[in-house]
Amino acid sequence: MDKFRIAKDTLGEVKVPEEVYYGAQTQRAIHNFPISGLRLPFSFIKAQAIIKASAAAANKECGTLDSKKAESIIQAADEIISGKWNDQFVVDVYQAGAGTSQNMNVNEVIASRAAELLGGQKGDYTLVHPNDDVNMSQSTNDTIPTAIHISIASQLNETLYPAINLLLETLETKEKEFHNVVKAGRTHLQDAVPIRLGSEFRGFRGAVMSVEKSLKDAENSLFELGLGGNAVGTGINAHENYAAAAIKEIADRTGLPFKQSDNTYAFMQNTNAAIRISGHLKELAVHLIKISSDLRLMSSGPRTGLAELTLPAVQPGSSIMPGKINPVILENLYMICSQVIGNDSCVTTAAIGSQLEINPMMPVIGYNVLQSITIISNGMNVFTEKCLKGISANSEKIKEWLDQSLSLVTALNPHIGYEKAAALAKESFESGKTLKALLVEKEIFTSDEAERILDPHSMI
């Protein structure tokens, strides 16, 4: 039989499982929000714990928090940062209240663990109180957006940028590998003038590089923190030196250049930085979908498609057709990017929910941006390692399509004019004869002249 203890909050008594570190307010949230089973990720919990440790250190420095309490809070928070108490953070993502339940979940866990460190029992708030001590100088309204900024900035640097850099390095390698492979270009999915296969990969690389730059520009807005604004931005109940000391501690702990926002009211009323990052993640997703779609098209076949590229075979493609190999890694990347685009729509809609002094929808904003970073980073890594690195060019098929391309006729424009060239292309299509054969047959050019003018390498 499960054992319980009686926890109390301002609404009364609540039965809480005896072994847990959280208390009454977290337990109420469990009952009130049985929605999805989804939780904010560890990166967000870690950011919250960094805030709590930094706040305790700042309050101690300002002389507003007892030294022993501060040290116990810092130690408990550091244990959370190390991943020790992950199972104690149990509030559903869809919790409402601007994340008050999320904030109190962390406050209660730290208070109980700090009490143990001081020789007491979990849930003994006479030693360390979740509101008066752990949450000192803070509010949900300034700590949750601060946690959003810290967790997103950390994940960009720890997860997303390394994945982008690996992708860019591999694209550049393929660009060089395929530099001398000349193929038929295609616009509107119709024949177009020749292009280097390497140039197509250069186009892929340029698109990703552009988004990386936009992300790093937008990242600067994440480094501005409104911690210390407290309930509505005024800094009520916080020592005048608290915010500067706490944010310096956060910067030291993360190694990232966090600084005080010069407008705590704007920081708390809006979620500008998260909106910007989410928008650029969506843009990255759009470009990755384009890349994955192009590679699927160019590798289609192997007998009835373009078959210009060969992808690494990673698993059987059909439960009924023996020997079939599908572009599963590219399909996986497309699905991931579809989710990222959907997440951005959620972030946008939730951001519209800002009213007056705060945005009550912050938990779902943080969750969706962090999920997008996680899945698109993992997706890029899988794509790079299991697909992109192993792509090879089918030179024989590429030459076959190039020789048949009617758009080689474009090179004739300076010699015979657009209209005559168009008529020649039409006759080539209808007769099945090559452009070169028609040029020689009609005595427009000699064989050598036609060969030189229609040389694809001269068109790139």
Catalytic residue IDs? 318
CB-based burial label for 62 (10 Å; 0-12, 13-18, 19+):
middle
Phi/psi at 118 (nearest 5 deg)?
-90, 5
172 vs 7: CA distance, rounded Å: 59
Quote the DSSP letter at residue 39: B
> Coil, helix or strand for 57?
helix
Which residues on adjacent β-strands are paired with residue 195? 183
Residue found under tokens 């990755």: 288
Q: Note whether 40 and 59 are within 8 A (CB).
A: no
**Sign for the pseudo-dihedral over CA of 252, 258, 262, 264:** negative
Residue found under tokens 């994440």: 222
DSSP 128-163: S-IIIIITTT--HHHHHHHHHHHHHHHHIIIIIHHH
- What the block records as the tokens of 230 is 């407290």
CA torsion angle for 134, 371, 150, 68 (degrees, to 10)?
A: 20
> Coil, helix or strand for 180?
coil
208 vs 174: CA distance, rounded Å: 15
DSSP 325-350: ---HHHHHHHHHHHHHHHHHHHHHHH
Of 102, 132, 110, the closest CA to residue 25 belongs to 102
Reply yes or no: is the peptide bond before residue 17 cis, omega within 30 of 0.
Answer: no
